[in-house]
Amino acid sequence: MSEFIARSDACGVYEEPNYAETYDSYFLTSEINKGHYKFEADLISSILNGGRVKSWGDIACGTGKHLREIQGPNEVQRFGIDRSQSMLNVARQRGGYDVAFAERDILDPSLPDFSFDLVTHLWYGYVHQPTLNDVLNFIQKSVNLTAPNGQFLLGVCDPLDVFETLEHENKLVYGGLFKIDAVTWSYTEPWSGHTYENCIAPHTMKIINLVAAQFEQCEIVTYPALDVEGHWNRKALLCRGKK
């Protein structure tokens, strides 16, 4: 399968070759995260084997582990889009299903017009956009890549479950609604020493309000709980029947 687009775009720590080489071992296969990866793999595999998916596009695919390894019919075409050359170099070197990888930023206005029956975006890559509007645009562009009647799976970033108790809309005593649209956060990885600064996580209801009307059905999928101190419980938004 040949690459469908190609373009270089620098993206910080993700361009460091050693970071890309070791990414899977921390985020996907470590003792902390491997249970969540298996949950994602089982969920996506069930969607692929449902018989209606002919093409699958993973946005910010990183090393492409999901695309390369998750079980599904051989006839499903698999595409990975990421703006990091180093991450895609690793993806191309590792085995598995045949995948077309493209070095591209989906916010690039020159992105060609194409769509997939299944679009996934996992591990919250959207939080690295510079503004909330850019984050929402990233999510909307991912929705736009979903074909009619297609399905969309989006990782929902809820740091330490703050949105479980922090309402999106709040009534003020002097009238009107006060909306908590997003929170910003920073984090230093102990394994790499890299600090992610000013990450933007839209409120879960902000995302749902943006996306839900564009699908026949949307539901929050909760990952298995992890008994790890300081680790928030992961969740995703699964949408079916793109209008």
Residue 95, number of CB atoms within 10 A of its CB: 6
Distance of CA 77 to the CA centre of its chain: 19
Supply 63's token pair: 């090393």
Q: Which domains does the chain have, with CATH numbers?
A: 12-157+203-242 (3.40.50.150)
Q: Residue 2: is its pLDDT beyond 80?
A: no
Query: What's the pLDDT band for 117 if we cut at 50, 70, 90?
Result: very high
Q: Residue 130: is its pLDDT beyond 80?
A: yes
- Give tens-digit pLDDT for 151-182: 999 999 998 899 999 999 999 888 899 999 99
Q: Residue 220: is its pLDDT beyond 90?
A: yes
Which range (5-19, 78-92, 101-115, 126-140) has the least confidence?
5-19
Question: What is the distance between the alpha carbons of residues 160 and 76, in angstroms, rounded to a whole number?
Answer: 36
- Write the CB contacts of 83 (distance below 8 Å, at least 6 apart in sequence): 9, 11, 14, 60, 103, 104, 105
Q: Residue 4: is its pLDDT beyond 90?
A: no
Query: What's this model's pTM, rounded to 2 decimal places?
Result: 0.91
CA distances from 127 to 81, 130, 159 (A): 17, 8, 11
Phi, psi of 126 (to 5 degrees): -65, -20
Q: Which residues is 171 bridged to in the sheet?
A: 177
Q: Which of 217, 223, 205, 220 shows the shortest CA–CA distance to 242?
A: 217
CA distances from 183 to 27, 43, 235 (A): 22, 28, 17
